[in-house]
Structures are given as C-alpha cells and as structure tokens.
Amino acid sequence: MIDFSNFYQLIAKSPLSHWLETLPAQVAAWQREALHGKFREWERAVEFLPELTPWRLDLLHSVTAESETPLSEGHRLRIENLLKNLMPWRKGPYSLYGINIDTEWRSDWKWERVLPHLSDLSGRTILDVGCGSGYHMWRMIGAGAHLAVGIDPTQLFLCQFEAVRKLLGNDQRAHLLPLGIEQLPALEAFDTVFSMGVLYHRRSPLDHLWQLKDQLAPGGELVLETLVVEGDENTVLVPGDRYAQMRNVYFIPLGGGPENVAGEVRIYRCAHRRRLRHLDGGAAAHRMDDQRIAGRFPRPAGSAQNRGRLSGAITGCDHCH
C-alpha cells in the first residue's frame, strides 16, 4: 500500500502540522473504503518499478531524468511495460531514462505560459489543486519550491505520480494526496496555491474560490488559471453537454480579470492582503483589501466557516490542462 508516513513526518514540524489532526484518519478511511477496483493492479505496477537515482535531472525546463550509462534493452522494456499499465497518461510529458511518456495534454505548454507571471517560487510551500499525475509539481520544484503538495482524488493519477517519483530517486520534495479541495480544513499555510484548469469544472465556483482562499498563508498568492469567454461584465457561459470536447464544464467566466468572475466575484479581495494572479492568456497581480469580502460577499452556505512512447489520442483541450 502506498505509504504517506514520510509526508506526515515532513509536515510535523512545519506550518502544516495542524493538518495531522485530520489527515491520517482521512487517508486511512480512503484506504479501507474507497479504493478503485483497479487500484491494486496499478499499485503493483509501481511496486515492481525499480527505484532509480538520476545521474542528470532536469525539472526546470522539463521533467527529464537520465542515467550515466543507458539502460539495457531488457531493463528499459520492463520499465516501459510497467508504465503502460498506468495508461492513460494525461498530464506531462515525461522523459525518463530514454522512455518518453507522450501524454494526452501538453502540460509543459501551460507551464511555460504561466511561469513568467508568477512570483519567485524559491523556498515556497505550494498547494496544487487538481494536480493530475503531478507534472506541474515537479516543475514547481524545478523552479525552486521547497515543498509541493498536490491533491487529486483520481487514484490512477496517484499511482502515476508515485511511479515517476520512484524513477526520480524517491524524491520527497513533492507529495500527492488522494483528496479533493473540499476535504481540506482551512490550513492557511501555503505560500502559493494553484488552481489551473479546475474552476470551470466546479458546480459552485464561489465555494471553490473560498476553499482556495482558506489554504493561503497571510501574504500568500493564489494562481487561478481558467477558460474565459468574451463579453460584458455580466457574461458567464454555462455550457451544455460538452465544451472543448470536455464533459463536466459548468461555468466559464468573462475574461476581463478576477473582478468579473461570475459577474462580481470580489471575494478575490482576500483577507490578510493575500494575492491573486488571474491568468487568462494575459496576467495581472492584484493586492486585495479585506473590506469587499466581508461586507459584500458573505461566505456561501455550506462552506467551511458557515458550517518508449506512451501515447493516446488527445481528448481534451491542450490549453486547459
């Protein structure tokens, strides 16, 4: 069984230590009651992978690991076949010891667009919401982050992340937890919180924004990346069955900046002068005050305070994942 004890030890003497009041019990309940029918199969693939220590590791420009001497053909094929057991790979790409995982979505393109607009990530503790297989977390580490924590309830993504971690020398600077944002307490401990390609999948975008805010440390930065539409300040698109070949798209705001999300979502004006970067192709950084959030937009009802080449066809939108 995938072991989370290293993460518990890592945060025990950090600003995240109060998470230990609830997290181990949540994970234990998930392990007992909520495992996917194929989870053991995926987990076995991870267990059979060798733990390799890269001779050369590049997380700044890509996710690339190389050995000093090429792997033998048999060794390489064994690793490749185990990684194929974890298909489909959606976020990437990865290049691991001559094995190229050609993922469905080019997450490197998104990172290259977002990175120039970010504050320096050096030394930061980061939360990546809806992190998928963890590709962007490795890039965050490459950009200097001290710790990257990803949350995503999709169990295949957890196994993919653990497979990559094992091939990167069991790197402990990034960790993925099989949870959704709604399962997190108000930690108020992350220097940067990323929500990329998530907002438009949420039935209640306002609740999502409050949940993100609750994770930020004072002075922290929220990076919100989402699909947007053109229109006036009252424009919001609520798609039908599919949008950009994707199901479960509920809400696409106007691309005029954070104040126009859902018409008037000034809940971005976060307490403790937390910061927002809203990315819709361009970017803007906003210092927000406390007044608008408290007086005009009370927390929604039900929220916390009120209660080889592995390939697959592209099925989503390159620009959104």
Please give the pLDDT value at position 244.
Answer: 60
Report whether pLDDT(268) > 50. no
Report whether pLDDT(320) > 50. no
For residues 297 and 111, which has the higher predicted lDDT (pLDDT)?
A: 111
Report whether pLDDT(260) > 50. no
Report whether pLDDT(117) > 80. yes
Angle at Cα 285 formed by Cα 280 and Cα 287, nearest 5°? 135
Angle at Cα 94 formed by Cα 147 and Cα 52, nearest 5°? 70
Residue 281: band (very low, low, confident or very high) from pLDDT cuts 50, 70, 90:
very low
Residue 110: band (very low, low, confident or very high) from pLDDT cuts 50, 70, 90:
very high
Look up the pTM and report it: 0.80
For residues 92 and 314, is the Cβ–Cβ distance under 8 A?
Answer: no
Q: HSE (CB half, 13 Å, CA atoms) of 102?
A: 7
Q: Is 29 exposed, middle or buried (0-12, 13-18, 19+ CB in 10 A)?
A: exposed
Residue 133: band (very low, low, confident or very high) from pLDDT cuts 50, 70, 90:
very high
Residues 6+ apart with CB under 8 A from 3: none
- Please state whether beta strands 216-225 and 236-237 pair in parallel, antiparallel, or not at all (unpaired): unpaired
Residues 6+ apart with CB under 8 A from 9: none
Cα–Cα separations (whole angstroms), residue 57 to 83, 159, 163, 282: 19, 21, 16, 31
Report whether pLDDT(270) > 50. no
Backbone phi, then psi, for 267, in 5-degree steps?
Answer: -70, -10
The set of long-range contacts for 71-74, using a CB threshold of 8 Å and a minimum separation of 24, is 71/97, 71/98
pLDDT tens, 150-170?
A: 999 999 999 999 999 999 999
Report whether pLDDT(292) > 60. no
Mean pLDDT confidence for 266-271: 32
Report whether pLDDT(48) > 70. yes
For residues 174 and 131, is the Cβ–Cβ distance under 8 A?
Answer: no
Residue 36: band (very low, low, confident or very high) from pLDDT cuts 50, 70, 90:
very high
* Distance (Å, whole) CA 198 – CA 216: 17
Report whether pLDDT(94) > 70. yes
* Distance (Å, whole) CA 53 – CA 56: 9
Please give the pLDDT value at position 298.
Answer: 36
What is residue 240's three-state secondary structure? coil
* Distance (Å, whole) CA 19 – CA 318: 34
* Distance (Å, whole) CA 130 – CA 132: 6
For residues 95 and 320, which has the higher predicted lDDT (pLDDT)?
A: 95
Report whether pLDDT(309) > 80. no
Tokens found for residue 116: 């120039």
Please give the pLDDT value at position 248.
Answer: 67
Q: Give 56-90 as a 3 state SS string.
A: EEECCCCCEEECCCCCCHHHHHHHHHHHHCCCCCC
Q: What is the mean pLDDT of the chain?
A: 80
Mean pLDDT confidence for 221-243: 73
Distance of alpha carbon 67 from its chain centroid, rounded? 28
Residue 205: band (very low, low, confident or very high) from pLDDT cuts 50, 70, 90:
confident
Residues 6+ apart with CB under 8 A from 233: 254, 256, 260, 263, 264
Cα–Cα separations (whole angstroms), residue 304 to 127, 128, 148: 18, 20, 24
Report whether pLDDT(304) > 50. no
* Distance (Å, whole) CA 192 – CA 223: 7
Domains (range + CATH), the chain: 4-294 (3.40.50.150)
